[in-house]
Amino acid sequence: DGLAKLRARRDLGFLDLPNRQNLWTASRERSAQVAGTLAVLGIGGSSLGGRALMDAFASKRVVFFENVDAKDFWARLEALGELKNVHWAIVSKSGNTIETLGQASFVSQRLEEQGLKLKDRATVITELRSNPLHDWAKANGVPVLEIPLDVGGRFSVLSPVGMFPAAAAGLDIEKIREGALWALKQDELIGRLMAHSLKSFERGEFITLFWVYCNRLWTWGLWVQQLWAESLAKKTTRKGAAAPRVSTPIPLIGANDQHSVLQQVAEGARDKFIWFLRSRESETAGPSLKRSLFAPQGYLEGKGLGALLSAEAQATAKALQQNQVQSLTLEVERVDERTLGALLMLLEVVVGAMGETLDINAFDQPGVELGKRLALEILK
């Protein structure tokens, strides 16, 4: 029912993004005009999706400036080298994100010290309506790529927010689009993922661990964390009643976090539900070991390194099951553009439809706005 309600809505543009060819064409064409390193200024939904794509493919051409840690910002700016070889993507749906606008102002200041101008080497990605970022771009002749008004920031990765950096990095964004279209048709899979997660809330499992056994998908877990947390945790339902309690999402990486968190999950409070994500590619790539240097590792002889990752993932799931900790497993064949497009759209639909089932507004974030207002008051 929640999925049906989601599909019936006409105000949610993220579901239609794979069909909005003008946005994909604009991202592709603008990326072809950009040379050198692409530096993305953005935070939260304006960055995490793009980072998930770049990290999955180990792109060196695109770098992200997110947090406003001054020491880190200036060190990373210095590490870029000749700034005349850098193009800047300034990304903010509202066009008023203080962290992003602040970084852009400091970048402009540094460029001017070198006789360069930000307006000559920038692309703005924002809504096509008056806001500080759009107005600056319009006044200075800076190209603007559109974030549609009906697409929320954390649901915007399949717009130019993620597709412009992806195209600039050389990814085949048409295949990303194909993966997203595939995911939109998977009603049974979406329903099963929703049902398992909603049932975990009924059991009082209010921590959901997204345990990724694939280094290339680690940032995807961080992206899911924002999508899940900002969309599902609300104070009231649409009718004004107290909203149902939902879980806190925590991304983990396997096998690393077997050595940091597994003890807590296995023998701590039974308040956790696990999504395991595995990639066969990560468990099968590379050569087999001919001879182990160490006697205890004879188990690996004749096997690839990924066999160890596979065994760890299977063992962790089985051990937790024996400890009455429930989980589900998503497995992908390989990490390519189609897979990423599918994973991104799949989770957006799952989270949006869960919001409909719970009768909450999964597309606002009132709890974030107060902190923004207070930060501006402190600065003043």
Q: Is 240 left (phi over 0), alpha (psi -120 to 50) or beta?
A: left
Place of tokens 């009603």: 187
Query: What does the DSSP 8-state code read for residue 243?
Result: P
Could you tell me which of 141, 120, 146, 124 has the C-alpha nearest to residue 133? 124
- Cβ–Cβ under 8 Å, residues 158 and 14: yes
Task: For the chain, give the number of residues.
Answer: 380
Q: Which of 99, 146, 205, 230 is catalytic?
A: 230
Give the integer Cα–Cα distance in Å for 328 and 317.
9
196 is catalytic: no
Residue/partner pairs of 258-261 with CB below 8 Å, 24 or more apart: 258/312, 258/316, 261/209
DSSP state of 75: H
230 catalytic per annotation: yes
Please say whether the beta carbons of 176 and 164 come within 8 A. no
Give me the helices (H) in 203-245, please.
218-232
Q: Are 320 and 327 in contact (CB under 8 A)?
A: yes
Helix (H) or strand (E) holding 308: helix 305-322
DSSP state of 244: P
Phi-psi region of 78 (alpha: psi -120 to 50; beta: other; left: phi over 0): alpha
Q: Which of 60, 185, 239, 259 is catalytic?
A: 259
Q: Is 284 helix (H, G, I), strand (E, B) or coil?
A: helix
Which amino acids are annotated catalytic?
A: 230, 259, 372
